[in-house]
Copies of this chain bind each other. A is one copy, B any other.
Amino acid sequence: MERARRRERVHVAGPPAAGSLAIGGEEARHLCVRRVQEGDEVVLFCGDGREWPARVARAGRREVTVEVGAGTLVDREPAARVTLAVGLLPAQAFDLVVRQATELGAAALAPVVTARSVARATGASQLERWRRIVIEASKQCGRNRLMEVAPPVPLAPILEDAPRPAWIALPGAPPLLDQLGEAGGLTLLVGPEGGFDPDEESAARRAGFAPGGLGASVLRAETAAAAALALVLGGLRRRGVRRS
């Protein structure tokens, strides 16, 4: 659904000062691939909610120089701040979760190491990869705030610390959409392939995570994550919830 001929969005490390700015690295390569030329308009964003119009002064393969205009706050965030906690999945499936959660408007993504997670946490390079996906998805979808991605943690700290109200996606549970209140912040917990084990499920219930259903089918984890986000953010939008 991306519109044709829209201005390329460029991620920069921090708020750019007015005047001339040199863009290098991956972002310069991306602009080169997209055949951005001298005189083209682009949009800069750094993840703080603002965006800056900029005009390309010089387009090289390794460096693109732009003239930066005045920044404005352009908030495309959903009404509620949703934390999505998902059991670790094989790399390709979790990459999809990162991308779709960014597009759909999750505020934060918490990868969780669970009993049935086949995939393992693999350290800093994995986190860097996910953060890169967040940036790429934000360029495409127009978000000016970056979804936070935490390093993988066990389930216990999520159950203790995640924002409430909180739901755990479980097949056969009462519809999630029926249970939404007026929350400005909430947590959705989705299991890995194979689901949570019975101990984890009980621990989540004891910690106040309400079981929420997503229909009659048994969804794959990545589909469940996307469906839960779409439902919750769509459902809360309907109630006119605005972030404080």
**Hey, which bits of chain A sit against chain B, CB under 8 A?**
1-4, 76-78, 96, 99-100, 103-105, 116, 140-143, 169-171, 175-178, 190-191, 193-195, 197, 214-221, 223-224, 226-231, 233-235, 237-238
A1 contacts which of B78, B221, B229 (Cβ < 8 Å)? B221
Complex partner residue of A219 from B103, B171, B214, B238, CB under 8 angstroms: B103
Copies in the complex: 2
Give the CA-CA distance A228 to B105 in the complex, in Å. Answer: 14
**Is the CB–CB distance between A140 and B218 below 8 Å?**
yes
Determine the distance from Cα of A238 to Cα of B238 in the docked complex, in whole angstroms.
13
Complexed CA–CA distance, A167 and B187 (Å): 30
- Could you say which of B175, B194, B221 contacts A234, with CB atoms under 8 Å apart? B175
Q: How many whole Å from A184's CB to the nearest CB in chain B?
A: 16
B3 to A219, Cβ gap below 8 A?
no
**Contact (Cβ within 8 A) A143 B230:** no
What B residues does A230 contact at CB under 8 A?
A: 214, 226-228, 230-231
Query: By the criterion CB–CB under 8 Å, are A76 and B217 in contact?
Result: yes
Contact of A178 among B116, B177, B238 (CB under 8 A): B238
**Separation of A221 and B99 alpha carbons in the complex (Å):** 13
Q: Select one of B141, B176, B217 contacting A141, CB under 8 A.
A: B217
